Structure 1
């Protein structure tokens, strides 16, 4: 065991770098009401600003999602950290809506480079036989980082000076530390190729992955859609419907969803990958129902319960989906296949969120939320029925 500790240390450190990058993508969440007051834009604009990030992620995954398979993990991740720092600079310089668009775009480009490459890197740095634990480190770093972002900015905005500046200054410092850590970690891609060999890729899957990809992608889509609505709309719901102006509370509720996702991922080891996907779908369905109750009756307790239950469901489903897809993928295509899974997941963050924003004007936030919940519930039920009936997936 002692001989394996340095290898696990590298795995955990790479996960920490992953978490820092992802924290930057949700850092503005509790600050959107402040930006609305400062620049005077609507709730639809909030959802568009938020979704622009997801579209940037999807673009990167499609264009260069396989880049780290060719040029190496570290160069791609260092580039991602650089884009994260530039995103924070845009928010620091924000004097109008254009800066927010630029910041979110750069944040999405950063996350797009990180998602597939960092997940594969964390798993490859793990000792032999540690694939299950490494999958947890990767997914926990992803979701834990997303949760730390709004928690950090909410606390700083509520209790420290410079609410629209200090969170981004802090993140730039964390990015600098992360770059130093990354430079000390080993490269895991042995046969590297020039950057010119990287070509845009269509969402394509090796034959052995296709049997597990459909239900895994559906569950990921619904889980990320739920989180997308939480991160983009919940601050407005708290302010308008519950009259809660505390930025720390807003950040904490969003963070609870992501931290609960990490708890759900940890539970996969007990329930097993085969059962985690259908159980995750059940948790997502319950979380959607609780969110519907929170919107309908303006109940803070139901909103918190939705974050907790839906988060656990998303964690179960997402780690199960990632483990299934990674296990079925050949090593030289793993980052590209993982990137394809994230394309579907980030489509869930973007398209439904914009739909909610478009519907908020004509039918109000409650009506838009209930339409969203009905659509996502239909999807998750369909996925759950298929998962319960599917044969045992083949693994390579």
Structure 2
């Protein structure tokens, strides 16, 4: 169990380690805003199909083999960043990180659930989700602090990550080799039963918006704060970490509020955060920090509520296919809007592009909120549905 938790934290931290360093890369490699947003989005756009492709691999091959492959891929990603001499290296590194996390998520989560001595399967799921978000929050904080206060800021963070991955390799190698379950390794096919398509559409839209806000913070806010000389790399990393930290702190409230009310409350917080970003576009560090805290709370409630609504209503026989489709939308939400900002920067400054995209996203919030309310009445969404692991 501890090995699975360790790997989830280390792999997710490594995937978000570069976030506060993007402005420095942009200056050194002299690339535009579109290229940098594409580099960021590559991770999300690769992770989504990787999650579907490798989601069931641990059942056929055993978790140890899959986790070893994930560690190798993550090491390739960190090595690409440490040796980067141009944007192509960063692009390759992000793709490797996406493949690593997409492959490892299912295997590590299964390991935690199946080998969590003294814990129920639900407890293992909660532990896996917490480890995932903890790593996501720790990555940008560590990257920003090391970049500002340690030598070789574009090399040292990845060297340390490689060391942590080496520890993970030995931990995985020490695991017993359980016999693979019978059956072939086949990719997960997203499938939505006709009876729950309205519920799925509203939950997917809610999760898309939740990860749109988080993705915008991780992709474009560092460049905006750096360009306005509002914050150093350490503060930028802490602002980014605040989004994910507040997300994990609010997710336990989903069980108390219920799936539908959690989504509506989260959408309200997302609307406030999007409004602040649309008005300031990262020109004020203090306002951006407030927006980050509100965005994190909204992400936790909206994402957790959306996942809980589907988890509580999906037929057991098709839960994997439905959840795979839902998380595919989540990953697209984390990457696609950031690319939209980059495309707008071809004709307009980054601050203007950010304000426009966030304003458009804010305009969709009331529509999605209405869909959530209607779907909840039609389907009778369970009030105490549990949030699944990320």
| CA–CA distance in structure 2, aligned partners of residues 182 and 146 of structure 1 | 21
The residue number in structure 2 matching 1:359 is: 344
| CA–CA distance in structure 2, aligned partners of residues 273 and 163 of structure 1 | 42
| CA–CA distance in structure 2, aligned partners of residues 50 and 66 of structure 1 | 26
Q: Runs of 5+ in structure 2 lacking a partner? A: none
| CA–CA distance in structure 2, aligned partners of residues 70 and 245 of structure 1 | 48
Match of 1:214 among 183, 201, 225: 201
The residue number in structure 2 matching 1:169 is: 159
| CA–CA distance in structure 1, aligned partners of residues 208 and 59 of structure 2 | 25
The residue number in structure 1 matching 2:168 is: 178
| CA–CA distance in structure 2, aligned partners of residues 191 and 356 of structure 1 | 45
Q: Please report how far the alpha carbon of residue 121 of structure 1 lies from its aligned counterpart in structure 2 after TM superposition.
A: 4.4
Q: Please report how far the alpha carbon of residue 79 of structure 1 lies from its aligned counterpart in structure 2 after TM superposition.
A: 1.8
Query: How many residue pairs end up in the alignment?
Result: 381
| CA–CA distance in structure 1, aligned partners of residues 90 and 325 of structure 2 | 27
Matched, 1:280 2:266: yes
Matched, 1:89 2:79: yes
The residue number in structure 2 matching 1:371 is: 356
Change (3 A) 1:63 1:127: same
Q: Please report how far the alpha carbon of residue 56 of structure 1 lies from its aligned counterpart in structure 2 after TM superposition.
A: 1.3
Q: Please report how far the alpha carbon of residue 307 of structure 1 lies from its aligned counterpart in structure 2 after TM superposition.
A: 0.6
Show CA shifts across 1:39-96 (max 9, x none).
Answer: 1111111101111112211232343443334434443233222211111111122122
Q: Please report how far the alpha carbon of residue 119 of structure 1 lies from its aligned counterpart in structure 2 after TM superposition.
A: 4.1
| CA–CA distance in structure 2, aligned partners of residues 65 and 308 of structure 1 | 32
Q: Please report how far the alpha carbon of residue 135 of structure 1 lies from its aligned counterpart in structure 2 after TM superposition.
A: 3.9
| CA–CA distance in structure 2, aligned partners of residues 95 and 41 of structure 1 | 12
The residue number in structure 1 matching 2:328 is: 343
Change (3 A) 1:333 1:162: farther
| CA–CA distance in structure 1, aligned partners of residues 271 and 231 of structure 2 | 29
Q: Is the 2:242–2:293 Cα contact (8 Å) retained in structure 1?
A: yes
Change (3 A) 1:337 1:163: same
Q: Is the 2:54–2:106 Cα contact (8 Å) retained in structure 1?
A: no
The residue number in structure 2 matching 1:259 is: 245
| CA–CA distance in structure 2, aligned partners of residues 330 and 290 of structure 1 | 40
The residue number in structure 2 matching 1:106 is: 96
Cα RMSD after superposing both structures: 2.8
| CA–CA distance in structure 2, aligned partners of residues 177 and 134 of structure 1 | 22
